[in-house]
Structure 1
Amino acid sequence: MNRRVFWLAAGFAALLFQGLHAQIRLPALFTDHIVLQQKSQANIWGWGKQGTKVTVKGDWPGAKASTVVDSTGKWMVKLPTLKAGGPYEVNIKAEYKSKKEGKQDTLITLRDVYLGEVWLCSGQSNMAWPVRRADRAEEEIAAADYPLIRFFTVKRAYSPTPLEDTEGEWVLCTPETVADFSAVGYFFGRELHQRLNVPIGLIHSSWGGTPIEAWMSEYGLKRVDAYQSELAKIQQLRLHADSMRQVHQQAMAGWTQQVLARMQGMPRGEVLHAGDWQQMKLPTLWEDAGLKGVDGTVWFKKEVDIPADWAGKRLILELGPVDDMDVCWFDELQIGAHQTTGVYDKPRKYEVPATAVQPGRHTILVKVMDTGGGGGIYGRPDQLKLYPADAPQAAISLAGNWGYKLDVKLDGLPPAPQLPPIEGPRAPMNLYNGMIAPLMPYTINGVIWYQGESNTSNPDLYRELFPAMIRDWRLRWNIGDFSFLYVQIAPFRYGSPLVGARLREAQLAALELRGTGMAVTMDIGDPDDIHPTNKQEVGRRLALLAMDKAYGYPDVPSSGPMYHFMKIEGDKIRLYFEHTFGGLEARGGELTHFEIAGKDKRFYPAKAVIQGETILVSSEQVPQPVAVRYAFTNDAVPNLYNAAGLPASSFRTDKW
């Protein structure tokens, strides 16, 4: 962390004594470059010795608050903040005095502090999706020089009980830091920064492939009647957690050995001298470079010229994260390996012994083994490098073209042993405990949320869980009903019919809660890819919602047309809408994806015609219509917009 600690003491002995007994501790959220919510009572908290007086002072007018560490070793103050500005310093002074231990003072200083707008960015993989994998990634990364946009990325962690702290630090938005940050979060923050002209703080806490119940507290789940039987099962399973964990570890070890045996492929020497090597620009997931759907073994090769003055020096090879497993050689020498699953996000750092380092050309060879999902050497370009251990500033970049050769393509791989139902990031409560609870009660303006794909198996339950989670977070944050803005899931070809449409319907229903807003993505999805890459427009639409819902700009169009009610007019049905902003539009020709049905509940394709701010729907096959549906399928990409250019959500007028 970049915060600085100074000891205020009369002598060296006192200094040592203070180091043992008087130091207070701040959560990971409080580091240099922090953004505090402007015009608020910003919560600042930490831990210390009971009875210690804690004074927090910022160098803007009126910024002072004091408290005493309580009997649990915790303290918290509310620091008044002014309108956006900075840079400032915040000093946290701890004073402890007792007859036995004497006087002990501690001072922690946070530097480069700004007051601005703070938002939490959370959800599953579409929120976690990094800028480097979004549309026009190279262009966006190169232009990402916004020192007044700051990022804090919460380390991924799951826990059966609420954690008090996380890991991470605040960093400035630069081309180096933005590449791995949430694309939706960044584009949302950039739009706000440009519109409001204030510092923006973005806290990113997400995990791909996770259901909503993982992000809810136990208290929140207890308030959902439909979830009570599941909670009862969880309570019983917790009684056997240790034995279940041991059984899973043994099963996983056996499965991993089976996978590694299947992935042996060609010997290293044979691969090294084989022909037919192709080129791939690293870092990247190989699915993004032409090997779509490939699980198995891929070899990567890079030639590197060692300077004369590196001769006889110990070198460090960094590859960044590798998904899933890897073995690495420097010429003939194996210098490192990770051959267990679950380390796909761990940066690889290997040592080349001094005896192997001679001037001239050398070969780096990496065997990458992927068991499912994305695979490859996929970090940031600055993470791929080779340098002397004593001179990291002299690093040679290894980013760019590497030779690659597909060796083993896994087919029919047995599924990995499932984690116990109470273990892992998908288990109920585990991500709330590990990645949300440590953030509370950091003062934020609101939340942006992109999640739902992992709950399409039960849209009816999601309809209850989602608003319950919003209420629960607001209750536990205890800073009022902050804005909660979310993304409706995009069209995708799910395996079961209508589950995507019904999940979108459940998300639509959550708009009944005060202070919520929904960004529709019906028009920017990809039915063949659950991760559409146009994150720029997703972030922009969320920012429009923020301008309306959080910042009081009602004239900013923030919503697409919303179905309001219908009237039957003979053999036709007229649909009425809210949020038309002066009219309705059909992009690319006539309206598509409308269906109409009679009392027999059989839907037929319908003709839909815009008439002012209404739509008249009909079909010759349905002379007595009673219901209409619009884009109510998993993968429809329809074309109804309002005059502001924002798309309509899928909807239905029936409850069948």
Structure 2
Amino acid sequence: MRNYFLLAVLIFLSNCLFSQTRLPAMFSDNMVLQQQQMVSVWGVDNPNAKITVLGSWGKNATAITDAKGHWKLKLQTPAAGGPYTVVIKGSKEVTLKNVLIGEVWFCSGQSNMEMPVKGYSNQPVIGSNETILNSSNDNIRFLNTSRSASITPLYDVKGEWNAAGPATTGNFSATAYYFAKKLQSVLNVPVGIIQSAWGASTIESWMDKQSLSEFKNKIIPNKLPDSIPNRTPTIMYNSMLHPYIGYTIKGVLWYQGESNRENASEYYALFTSMINSWRKQWQQDDFPLYFVQIAPIEPGKVNAAFLREAQLQTMLSVKNTGMAVTMDIGERTVIHPAQKEQVGNRLAYWALAKDYNVKGIAFSGPVYRQLEKTANGRLMLTFDYCDQGLTSFGKPLTDFEIAGEDKVFYPAQAMIRNDKNGVLVVWSDAVKEPVSVRYAFKNWAEGSLFNTQGLPASSFRTDNW
């Protein structure tokens, strides 16, 4: 009798679960939906049930649940505005209130993306107090994803949408907040940010099993690790990315790389594979993905310049990507640069120029293009993204090195040519027949080369030694 009773309880509980219209956490009060799109909405109800979703802006859509009770549909959204309500009618009726229509960006990575506006313990974000004090803006909404780990892909996350204000903004990602603030002030539309990040996570942890199968040296776990799940392949993807796949977004912001300095030689291939797989799974064509190049930092035996080089290579070869350079705002012994407003703004320049058609602004720092040897044995470098020329803002050009065929590098001098935009001349009296130049190609350097709009050049090398 006891077994029959337990079975009856289980059946009752199962029926109760299916007898409710349930939605993932991202579909809730205060959410932001991408404007002027057929946005995806999904949930769970009884099997073979009719679901109707109605937007108070005058559009609706219907779906039938499958044998397991899952449903998904597309709902047309209007131009930016609100607040609206969204009603889901199934076995019960659910009403989502205070919904805005605007621009939605998904923001992921490790601790520099996770770092909140209020900063970390003993690690500040410059200007955080004033930022928090003056942050009241109902047109900026954030969804912070709670940390979780899973060996299999999950359906839902824990988190809730909140509007920006002194009581909430301190807990938002600083990088993502400043990005959202800049977009909202320029575009004058609601901006929604979904943050899903975990400090010290590796890029492999944010990739799915199929993508990682291309890399024979990657071990896919069959159980949760006892520690550091954020550094274990597929775990972050399963728990903190997979639930969001399909939520209609404008694009992605990515701030990660510090945890992959030890395998920097793999990063370009891993990063490219991750971007391509995310785009394929989201089914939103080649949505924009803008990322932050890791900042210079002194500690460690690994040369972070190779990781920065892999990131630069990604920007130059993967469609619809852009990179915010941080060569000028690194901190010698701290892995979390305090100038997060600079980082957020630099990401926003890419989006505003490329996705929102804002004309007349710079969005990238100088990017090395080619090298030529001059008649007097000096090397002349040309750069892209500096139509108004190059500058060091009155400070010496530092961290240049030059080498001959012997591959031995010596400190070099550099001079900006004033007669031609985007041209730099580099030389060293110790190298009579130079063939290669490196700029800031080391763990720690203080960026000294900019375009006149104030955006720094990435570290680079002209050789592949």
- Give the TM-score taking structure 1 as reference length: 0.66
Q: In the alignment, which residue of structure 1 is the partner of 2:379?
A: 573
What CA deviation, in whole Å up to 9, does each residue of 1:21-67 have, x standing for no partner? 63211001111111000011110000111111111110113x21111
Equivalent residue for 2:436, pick from 627, 633, 637: 627
Alignment of 1:26-175 (within 5 A): 26-61=23-58, 63-94=59-90, 105-133=91-119, 134-175=125-166
C-alpha deviations, 1:293-349, integer Å up to 9, x for none? Answer: xxxxxxxxxxxxxxxxxxxxxxxxxxxxxxxxxxxxxxxxxxxxxxxxxxxxxxxxx
Other-structure match for 2:280: 475
Structure 2 runs not aligned, ≥5 long: 1-14, 120-124
Query: Residue 200 of structure 1 corresponds to which residue in structure 2?
Result: 191
Instruction: Answer yes or no: is the 8 Å Cα contact 1:516–1:549 preserved in 2.
Output: no
* 1:174-253 → structure 2 map (5 Å cutoff): 174-223=165-214, 227-231=215-219, 234=220, 238=222, 241=223
Show the 5 A alignment for 1:555-574.
Answer: 555-570=360-375, 571-574=377-380
Q: 2:167 is paired with a residue of what secondary structure?
A: helix
Task: String of CA shifts for 1:125-183, please: whole Å, max 9, x gaps.
Answer: 11111111111221111111011100101111111110010111111111111111110
CA-CA distance at 1:20 after TM superposition? 6.9
Q: Secondary structure at the match of 1:78?
A: strand
* Structure (1 or 2) with the greater strand fraction: 1
Q: 1:76: Cα distance to partner?
A: 0.6
Which secondary structure does the structure 2 equivalent of 1:600 belong to? coil
Which range moved further: 51-60 or 550-559? 550-559
After superposition, what is the alpha-carbon deviation per residue over 1:198-220, rounded to whole angstroms, capped at 9, x for unaligned? 00100010000111100111111
Q: One-letter code of the match for 2:218?
A: E
AA matched with 2:235 = N
* Counterpart residue type for residue 41 of structure 1: M
What residue is the counterpart of 1:646 in the other structure? Answer: 455
**Contact 1:154 1:205 survives alignment (8 Å):** yes
Query: What amino acid sits opposite 1:432 in the alignment?
Result: Y
List 4+ stretches of structure 1 deviating above 6 A: none
Task: Provide the C-alpha distance between the structure 2 equivalents of 1:200 and 1:644, rounded to a whole number of angstroms.
Answer: 26
**Over alpha carbons, which structure has the higher Rg?**
1
Q: Helix, strand or coil for the counterpart of 1:179? A: helix
Confirm or deny: 8 A CA contact 1:517 1:549 kept in the other structure: no
- The answer to whether the 8 Å contact 2:40/2:75 transfers is yes
Pick one of 230, 239, 260 that aligns with 1:455: 260
Does structure 1 retain, via aligned residues, the 8 Å contact 2:53–2:86?
A: yes
Cα deviation, residue 590, structure 1: 2.7
Alpha-carbon RMSD across the aligned residues, in angstroms, is 1.5
Secondary structure of 1:457's match? Answer: helix
Alpha-carbon distance change, 107 to 228 in structure 1, aligned in 2, over 3 angstroms? same
Output aligned runs, 1:228-627, within 5 Å.
Answer: 228-231=216-219, 234=220, 238=222, 241=223, 419=227, 424-497=229-302, 499-511=303-315, 512-570=317-375, 571-611=377-417, 612=420, 613-627=422-436
Give SS of 2:262's match. coil
Contact in 1 for aligned 2:85/2:97 (Cα 8 Å): yes
Distance 2:158 2:335 in 1: 29
CA contact (8 A) 1:564 1:578 kept: yes
Question: What do the CA deviations read for 1:456-510 (whole angstroms, capped 9, x no partner)?
Answer: 001111121011111111111112211100000001013225x211100000011
Aligned to 2:6: none
Q: Is the 8 A contact 1:152 1:169 kept in 2?
A: yes
Separation in 2, partners of 1:170, 1:191: 19
Deviation at 1:549, TM superposition (A): 2.3
Q: Secondary structure at the match of 1:230?
A: coil
The letter of the residue matching 1:75 is: W
Q: 1:496 to 1:20 in 2, by over 3 A?
A: closer
What is the alpha-carbon distance in structure 1 between the residues aligned to residue 175 and residue 17 of structure 2? 44
Q: 1:428-458 CA deviation, whole Å, 9 max, x = no partner?
A: 0000000000111100101111100000001
- How far apart are the structure 1 equivalents of 2:205 and 2:447? 32
Q: Matched residues in 2 for 1:554 and 1:43: separation?
A: 31
Letter aligned with residue 69 of structure 2? G
- Code of the residue aligned with 1:622 in structure 2: it is V
Unmatched segments (≥5 aa) in structure 1: 1-17, 95-104, 249-418
Identify which range, 545-554 or 119-128, moves more after superposition: 545-554
User: How far off its partner does 1:19 sit?
Assistant: 6.6
* Correspondence for 1:301: none
Counterpart CA distance in 2 for 1:483 and 1:494 is: 33
Specify the code of the residue in structure 1 equivalent to 2:107.
C
How far apart are 1:568 and its partner, in Å? 1.1
SS at match of 2:118: helix
Equivalent-residue separation in structure 2 for 1:112 and 1:19 (angstroms): 28
